[in-house]
Each structure stands twice: as C-alpha cells, then as structure tokens.
Amino acid sequence: MDKATVLTDHEPENPLKAADRDIVALGIAAAAIILLVGTGGSVLPKVMDAMFGNGPRPDIVLINALLLNIALIIFGWRRYRELTREIAERRRAEERAHQLAATDPLTHCLNRRSMLTATEEVRARAAARGEAVAYCMIDLDNFKQINDIHGHPAGDAVLVMLCNRLRALLPREARLARLGGDEFAFVMPFPAGHAERVDDLVIRMFENLAQPFRLPEVTVELTLSIGLAADHDPDGTIGLVVDAGTLMQQSDMALYHAKKQGRNRYFWFEPSMESELRFRNQLETGIRRGLARGEFVPYYEQQIDLDSGALVGFEMLARWRSPQLGVISPDTFVPIAEEIGLINELSERLMEQAFADAKEWDDSLTLSINISPVQLRDPWFAQRLLKKLVAAGFPPQRLEIEITESCLHENIGLVRSMIMSLRNQGVQVSLDDFGTGYSSIEQLRNLPFDRLKIDRSFVSELREPGGRSRIVEAIVSLGRGLDLPLTVEGVEDEQILKALKSMGRLKAQGYFYGLPEDADAVRTRLKAAGRLTGIMAPAQTATDHDLTFYRATRP
C-alpha cells in the first residue's frame, strides 16, 4: 500500500509509527483468520454438539481461543473500515487543498501559479491536433479608481462579474486565470493561420466589457488593455515559441505596449517591442541613477503679459541632463517616473531648486510648477508642498501650480480640498492644457481655479490664413464668462501674437519669447533687466516696444 495513503489524521506527527501500527493490526487480523480456519474447523462442531447435549464439553482453553479469534477478526475488520474512511477523507482534503492552491478564491479562475501548467496542457493538446495557441493578458485601466472611489467590496463584485462575462465569451477549451489584483489572462487554441478568430473574440470582449457593470449601489464602467502572443506565426506555418513562459512574457510586452499607446486597446506581440522595452528599462535605470546624481534640473519659460509686453513670471519645465543621452524632455521621463513611483521625489527635488532660483528673482515674478495627477493622489500633497514653501522661505503668493484635466478623473473631492487648502495659503492653481481632456463646465464652476491655460495644440490654428481658431475664441469667451484669467501657450510667431492681441487680456508664453532656459541663463537675463533682487533696473519694466529685449534666438 502507498505509504502516503496510510497516514492517518491521528498521528500526523509520526507517519511511520502509524504505518507500523496498521501493518501490525493487519498481521493480527490475518493470523486470527488463519487460526480460526485451523482451530474453528475442529472446535466449532464440538461446541455445537455440547450446546445441543450431544457430546462432552470441549476444552475451555479451545473455546477461549475461538472467542479470541472472533474478537481479533472483528478488530481487524473495524480497523480496515476506519482505514478506508481515513484514506477517502485524506483524498478529499488533498483535492480541496490542490484546488485552493490552483485557483483564485474570489473569482474561482486559475491563479498565476497554475496558469503556467494549464497553458502547457492547452498547448500540448492543441499541438496534437495541429492547432496554434494564443495567450492573452488583460489589464483593467481604471480599476484602482473604482476601488478608491466605491470601496473594495464594489471592486471585488466588479471582478467577479467581469470573470463571468469573460467565461461566457471564451471557447470551451480556453483557460482563464486571475494573475493579480486587476490582471487576467486566458489561453486558447485556434486554427493555425487564423489569428483573425482571436481578433474577433478580443473585439467582442471589448464590446461586452464596455457595457456598464451594474451593482446594487453604483454603476461602474471599465476599460481594458490587452496584449496577445501566439505560438505560431500569422500564416500558421511555423511554431514560434517553445514554452508557455516565453508566450506569457511576449503577451506581457504587447500589453505594456498597449498601455503605452494610450490604453483601452490591444496589440499582438512583435519583436520590436522587446527592444522598446529594453530601452525603457535602460531609461528607468538611468532615471534612478540620474536622480541620485542630481541630473534633473529646472528650466524656465517666460510668461508675458500680452497687453504690456512685460515679463510677469516663469513656468518651470523639468529637464534631464543625461550624460549618455543628452537633454531629455519631460514627456519622456515624467511618465516613467510616475510609473516607478519616483515622481514625488523628482518633483520635490526640482521644486527645491526652483524655489531657491526664484528667490533671487524680482518679487513681482511668479513661478509656475506642473504637478502630475499621480502626485495629487497623495492626500498630504498640499501639506507637503506648503511645508516645502516654508522651509525654502518662498512666498506662496508667488507660486502657481498647474494641474491637468486628467487630475479631475481621480478623486474629485480630494482634488477639491487640496485646491482649497493651497489657495487658502495664497498659492494660485491653474487648469493646464484646457480642452485636451474631459473637464466639464460643471467642474470648472465648482472647482476654484484661478486660471485656465489654453493648450498650444489649439493656439497653432491661429497661424492658418485668417488667423482664427474657433476653439481658442470659444475658450477665451468661456474664461471671460466664468471670470477666469487665461494663459495662452505656444506663441511661436508674430501672426499668432497679433491674433491673440485682439482677444483681450491674456498672459502668453511660447518660443516667440524664447526657449525654456536653465537657471543661469534666466539669472543673466534678469540681471540685465535689473530684475534680480537687490539689482537696479537699467531701464523701466519692459513694454511692448522693447519686447525684443526678452526674445531669445529662435531654434
């Protein structure tokens, strides 16, 4: 008998002892049966005769031996029954433990651990039929928000509903797994050379999951990103990857690509994604190292009052002076810093430098700083910023923070209270890139912004013949209606400037006035204008006439 199956729950601490005892019990029962056959054959008839008065009483020792025999057989039988019951229970427990270890307790899908084996199995079966296999990674784009806003029980309910919808769509042979919080995967066979069948299924999935998830209390909507990899090339001729692990990695890379491309979409793995990811990992390492070595520096872009032509402040724009890669734009490193959780540290370092720089400037000059939506998720953001201001001795009235519309998708209550506490201390708050996101008029009315910034993508339309942009005009009149001052980005030439001037009081910034410059260049510029603290101006504040004074060389 298999030793494992003989183990009992009574003596789990010493399985060998238990096995010994069972063997002894079995030996005794077997010996008893042999004895019964041996002695019972002669003793039983004598006992029967004596009972019916037909013969002498048999020897009492023999009778006792017979009774002992019978008792031992009953003992052996009962032990055997116990054993079979114990084995059955143990098997059930083992099965249950195995199932628990292999599935996700919430959704009852497979889990990350068991998905690898499941994928190998699906691949083996598909290969035997000459079919291909697709592995699909699914990541929910906005699940964290659902959890944060509606609570974890609602989040859990959404995940269960989502799994049920996925199961209903998947073919019978597919296996579905929950790999982590809001990450799922499935593996399915498909006829080699017909990857469009997988595309069809994935498109149906997007359509289905775009339908709202109705919970008793709330209705939530989800979007998802998907990465796919197949073990055959598109025309189905060559088996491409050799193991499930590679298939999983490739679909992960495709998923990463889908997220980078703006989420809510899917991609099949392509080899170029591997080098893209390698480059991204290099950037990540570079950013970590660069932060420690002080390679991130603030640059400053001038902000001009359109009416008077006077310089009124600067917007701080981060730059990474990488020794290997040169000067890198924030569009490249800010999203990575956000992703790897370094944006707070990076931003705070830049702020410290910027406060120190701006303290040397004339008191009338403001400093604008861009704040990422990720930073606003920290409920202590406002307090930390104010603490930094106090530590730097920088007047809050000179600081303006710029937040983008995407911040308004996050916890709006939190954003609102943050804006309020910053404004209470005198910090101004503007809504950046207005019109490129989804803020509603309602939000504009309810959130106490000090200013709107019109994105340069709209402003560039003013260069078209006629110098008009309906969007810019609409935003300008909206700002006027809501009594919100406006800053216009992307003033690149005189034609744009002229068109803007006819639109009323505006602040403007753009390459027409100069490219963003580092702290030293700004100091030199301000020194010449007599606008460094304690330095006398060579002339009065700049006017429209001496605008060229501020103009830097065009690129």
Interface contacts to ligand C2E, rule CB under 6 A = 301, 317-318, 329-331, 334, 347, 350, 370-372, 432-433, 456, 489-492, 509-511, 516
Q: Which is nearer to ligand C2E, 249 or 303 (CB)?
A: 303
- Applying CB under 5 A, the span of 55-63, 190-198, 222-230, 447-455 interacting with Ca ion comes to 447-455
Q: Which is nearer to ligand C2E, 63 or 317 (CB)?
A: 317
Distance, CA of 80 to CA of 28 (rounded, Å):
12
Q: Which is nearer to ligand C2E, 80 or 511 (CB)?
A: 511
Question: Is residue 455 within the footprint of Ca ion (CB under 5 A)?
Answer: yes
Q: Which is nearer to ligand C2E, 69 or 404 (CB)?
A: 404
| Smallest separation (angstroms) from Ca ion to the CB of 189 | 48
Q: H helices of 342-411, where?
A: 343-359, 373-376, 381-392
Give kind and range of the element (H or E) at residue 377.
none
Q: Which is nearer to ligand C2E, 118 or 496 (CB)?
A: 496
The single residue among 22, 182, 400, 432 that binds Ca ion, judged by CB under 5 A, is: 432
- Applying CB under 5 A, the span of 33-41, 200-208, 377-385, 394-402 interacting with Ca ion comes to 394-402
| Smallest separation (angstroms) from ligand C2E to the CB of 495 | 13
Q: Which is nearer to Ca ion, 114 or 370 (CB)?
A: 370
Number of alpha helices (DSSP H) and beta strands (DSSP E) in the chain:
19, 18
From the number of C-beta atoms within 10 Å of its C-beta (0-12, 13-18, 19+), residue 128 rates as exposed
Distance, CA of 81 to CA of 79 (rounded, Å):
5
From the number of C-beta atoms within 10 Å of its C-beta (0-12, 13-18, 19+), residue 171 rates as exposed
Within 344-383, which residues bind Ca ion (CB under 5 A)? 370
| Smallest separation (angstroms) from Ca ion to the CB of 455 | 4
From residue 521, how far is each of 210, 299, 357, 398, 540 by CA, in Å?
A: 51, 9, 11, 20, 21
| Smallest separation (angstroms) from ligand C2E to the CB of 456 | 5
Quote the DSSP letter at residue 189. E
Provide the 10 A C-beta neighbour count for residue 262. Answer: 9
| Smallest separation (angstroms) from Ca ion to the CB of 508 | 13
Q: Which is nearer to ligand C2E, 90 or 288 (CB)?
A: 288
Distance, CA of 409 to CA of 142 (rounded, Å):
10
From residue 56, how far is each of 38, 50, 60, 143 by CA, in Å?
A: 21, 6, 11, 92
| Smallest separation (angstroms) from ligand C2E to the CB of 134 | 37
Taking CB within 5 to 8 Å according to partner kind, which of ligand C2E, Ca ion, none is near residue 104?
none
Q: Which is nearer to Ca ion, 86 or 433 (CB)?
A: 433
Distance, CA of 285 to CA of 306 (rounded, Å):
43
| Smallest separation (angstroms) from Ca ion to the CB of 493 | 18
Q: Which is nearer to ligand C2E, 155 or 490 (CB)?
A: 490
| Smallest separation (angstroms) from Ca ion to the CB of 270 | 31
Distance, CA of 397 to CA of 304 (rounded, Å):
18
Taking CB within 5 to 8 Å according to partner kind, which of Ca ion, ligand C2E, none is near residue 492?
ligand C2E
| Smallest separation (angstroms) from Ca ion to the CB of 498 | 21
Q: Which is nearer to Ca ion, 6 or 459 (CB)?
A: 459
Determine the residue type at 394.
F
Taking CB within 5 to 8 Å according to partner kind, which of ligand C2E, Ca ion, none is near residue 22?
none
Question: Is residue 402 within the footprint of Ca ion (CB under 5 A)?
Answer: yes
From residue 169, how far is each of 131, 175, 226, 374 by CA, in Å?
A: 20, 12, 15, 35
Q: Which is nearer to ligand C2E, 178 or 319 (CB)?
A: 319
Taking CB within 5 to 8 Å according to partner kind, which of Ca ion, ligand C2E, none is near residue 383?
none
| Smallest separation (angstroms) from ligand C2E to the CB of 483 | 23
From the number of C-beta atoms within 10 Å of its C-beta (0-12, 13-18, 19+), residue 438 rates as exposed
- Strands (E) located in 426-554: 428-434, 451-454, 486-488, 507-508, 517-518
Q: Which is nearer to ligand C2E, 371 or 415 (CB)?
A: 371
| Smallest separation (angstroms) from ligand C2E to the CB of 441 | 22
Distance, CA of 144 to CA of 111 (rounded, Å):
20
Distance, CA of 175 to CA of 171 (rounded, Å):
9
Taking CB within 5 to 8 Å according to partner kind, which of ligand C2E, Ca ion, none is near residue 317?
ligand C2E
Distance, CA of 136 to CA of 411 (rounded, Å):
31
Q: Nearest CA to 77 among 18, 30, 124?
A: 30
The single residue among 433, 435, 469, 503 that binds Ca ion, judged by CB under 5 A, is: 433
Distance, CA of 120 to CA of 242 (rounded, Å):
10
Distance, CA of 342 to CA of 349 (rounded, Å):
11
Q: Nearest CA to 369 among 314, 319, 414, 422?
A: 314
- Applying CB under 5 A, the span of 124-132, 146-154, 378-386, 399-407 interacting with Ca ion comes to 399-407
| Smallest separation (angstroms) from ligand C2E to the CB of 350 | 5
Q: What is the pattern of x (binds Ca ion, CB under 5 A) and - over residues 464-503?
A: -------------------------x--------------
Taking CB within 5 to 8 Å according to partner kind, which of Ca ion, ligand C2E, none is near residue 301?
ligand C2E
**SS3 (DSSP) at 216:** coil
| Smallest separation (angstroms) from ligand C2E to the CB of 200 | 39
C-alpha torsion angle, residues 441, 444, 447, 453 (rounded to 10): 150
Q: Which is nearer to ligand C2E, 161 or 317 (CB)?
A: 317
Question: Is residue 231 within the footprint of Ca ion (CB under 5 A)?
Answer: no
Residues near Ca ion (CB under 5 A): 370, 402, 432-433, 455, 489
